[in-house]
Structure 1
Amino acid sequence: MTATAVYAAGGVLWRQVDGKLHILLIHRTQYRDVTLPKGKVDPGETLVETAIREIFEETGIHVALGLPVGVSRYHMPKGREKIVHYWSAEVTEDAVRDSKFVPNKEIAALEWVTPKHALSYLSYPVDVEIVENFLRFVDDGVLETFPIIVLRHAKAMSRTDWEKSDASRPLARRGFRQAASIVAPLRAFGVRRIISSDAVRCVSTVEPLAKALGRAVRTSELISQDAWEEGKHDSRTIVGKRVRSRKPAVICSHGPVLPDIMNELALATGTLRGSYLGSASALEVGAFSVVHLSRTNPGSGIAAIETHLPKV
């Protein structure tokens, strides 16, 4: 992020209405325009946290983020550049019913329209471009998706300061802060399953997430660094199960093991391997890459990958 730009985040919310795809537009009270739900980043927030918060504040709808569908850039009246990141987000019927939205001083109305209607109805060309990006995924048969998130454990105590086994090496003070800080960003993608190397530093990284979700951490030595160093690791078994389940999951492992996990994700989904996989697996401690897959046809390849850095 640059110091001078204003950052924001939002979403293309979609649902099926009578078998037809509709997306949600908002009518803003003050500006008398029609746009997509979005808002500025608050201090200390990540972009995905902003997207979730702003979508809820403007629509009353709880969502999990799907595919990244583009970034819009434009200059504000005083000349500062505004950069807005967007994700697709499926809206369930339960979420629609649970929404407590009422017209207010910021949002006059919500309106579900077909994508074709939206393209001619939106007030700004930058919003039109985002919807067009979203529709390219739809045209490619990618609408319903699920994420598999590859996470590198948070900062651990130095090996030179630890006399016991490497697998028992705990998180450093910064690592515990990182583990707490990634809970909200991971929840933004609707994570429901947590798989971790059995090393202490990995389990400790995902324990705050597990507590927040009320879920157990499933540990496996197959993706541990010890197994990798001994040539006994087996990322394929772990990855294959997660792809077949078609449920949002996070896999927490170690730097040397991450490239193998990412390669197995490519193999399991029929994706051509390339340098992008190396970039997505070369994570610093506490960082994660979100691999988006089609829920209806996971074998159709990786739809998108995005990487997120830790806040601390």
Structure 2
Amino acid sequence: MSGLAVYAAGGVVWRLVDGKLRVLLIHRTKYRDITLPKGKVDPGEMLAETAVREIHEETGIRTVLGPPLGVSHYKLPSGREKIVHYWSAEATEAAIRESSFVPNDEIAAIEWVGLKKAHARLSYPVDIEILEHFERLVDDGVLHTFPVVALRHGKAVPRDEWDGRDALRPLLPRGKEQAKAIVGGLRAFGVRRIVSSDAVRCVKTVVPLSKAIGRRIDETELISQDAWEDGAADVRQVVGRRIRSGKPAVLCSHGPVLPEILTELALATGTMRGSYLADAAALEFGAFSVVHVSATNPGSGIVAIETHAPKI
């Protein structure tokens, strides 16, 4: 009997060997098939977090995620629908050296192959379709990317229930839970730099991430709501620095400021503006949009945008 859909996540894991592109296929023991690494979502896990964990569990390789590659849908023998989200995921030489993979009851072998051979070897059409999405990144020359993440702070004490300065409004218990719940999702994209509005509700939202990755929080009023309402914000300066750095970063700010952050990300990368920017900026509390930018040609436009929200 069919029931609720089963969600899973995985990736096309890739590396360059002597300048030649190779992707990673897994040979499953039980099913005697060849697929892309993937697995089911654990309770409370964000999809991106699942992808990184499952890739590591199945291949022994720790990766961070690049642009999304689409979603596959298929029916399980039980009649339930399985929905699998995929990302591009680079395997660095250091990560490969540290791989702990040994053949086991689930995975008999892992194999690095070229794209043509991957097409021939993969057992399922849905995997080949995902591989074709990956090939479009290759053809477009945007395999190497870095993310700039726009994050809305967690749920805070409402303004009309707070007597002090607005910037001092604390997170509610739900907001604190959201701050914890997004750590795995943000780490999945390799975030290393944390920039936050200096408002307490923003800073506290990224404290769990800061502790998890051992990086300090760069607090600034330039993307704060107070400065934005006073006309004193400078979103362009903050965004420009992040694009110039080419390093994975998160910008934690406020609902009213997020549209300007997304607009400046588009302008800084020479991207045509459109309604997709408004969609990416319309975030729930604790949600974030990941803007993928070409590492080699950041002015060539945004490669992809995706939005995630904690299950809190």
Query: What's the TM-score bracket when you normalise by the shorter of the two chains?
Result: over 0.9
Corresponding residue for 2:18? 18
CA RMSD of aligned residues (A): 1.0
Helix, strand or coil for the counterpart of 1:104? Answer: coil
Equivalent-residue separation in structure 2 for 1:3 and 1:189 (angstroms): 32
Corresponding residue for 2:303? 303
Corresponding residue for 1:281? 281
Structure 1 residue 239 corresponds to structure 2 residue 245: no
2:15/2:21 contact within 8 Å kept: yes
Corresponding residue for 2:62? 62
Corresponding residue for 1:264? 264
1:46 counterpart letter in structure 2:
M
Corresponding residue for 2:252? 252
2:9/2:84 contact within 8 Å kept: yes
1:36 counterpart letter in structure 2:
L
* 1:3 positional shift: 6.2
Relative distance call for 1:260 and 1:220 in structure 2 (3 A) is: same
2:44/2:181 contact within 8 Å kept: no
2:11/2:55 contact within 8 Å kept: yes
After alignment, is 5-14 or 40-49 more displaced? 40-49
Equivalent-residue separation in structure 1 for 2:252 and 2:81 (angstroms): 36
Equivalent-residue separation in structure 1 for 2:3 and 2:259 (angstroms): 33
Equivalent-residue separation in structure 2 for 1:252 and 1:42 (angstroms): 26
Corresponding residue for 2:8? 8
Q: Which runs of 5+ in 1 are unaligned?
A: none
What does residue range 188-267 of structure 1 map to in structure 2 within 5 Å?
188-267=188-267
Equivalent-residue separation in structure 2 for 1:43 and 1:229 (angstroms): 39
Structure 1 residue 85 corresponds to structure 2 residue 80: no
Corresponding residue for 2:46? 46
Number of residue-to-residue matches in the alignment:
311
2:182/2:310 contact within 8 Å kept: yes
What does residue range 98-109 of structure 1 map to in structure 2 within 5 Å?
98-109=98-109
* 1:68 positional shift: 0.3
Equivalent-residue separation in structure 2 for 1:181 and 1:116 (angstroms): 39
Q: Please give the per-residue CA displacement for 1:127-152, whole angstroms capped at 9, x wherever unaligned.
A: 00000000011101110111000000
Equivalent-residue separation in structure 1 for 2:5 and 2:14 (angstroms): 29
Q: Please give the per-residue CA displacement for 1:4-45, whole angstroms capped at 9, x wherever unaligned.
A: 111110000000011100000000011111100001112221
Equivalent-residue separation in structure 1 for 2:18 and 2:199 (angstroms): 49
Corresponding residue for 2:29? 29
Corresponding residue for 2:118? 118
1:29 counterpart letter in structure 2:
T
Q: Please give the per-residue CA displacement for 1:252-294, whole angstroms capped at 9, x wherever unaligned.
A: 0000000000000000000000000000001111100000011
Corresponding residue for 1:132? 132
Q: Which runs of 5+ in 2 are unaligned?
A: none
1:8 counterpart letter in structure 2:
A
Equivalent-residue separation in structure 1 for 2:21 and 2:77 (angstroms): 35
* 1:78 positional shift: 2.1
2:168/2:199 contact within 8 Å kept: yes
Helix, strand or coil for the counterpart of 2:65? Answer: coil
Deviating 4+ runs (over 6 angstroms): none
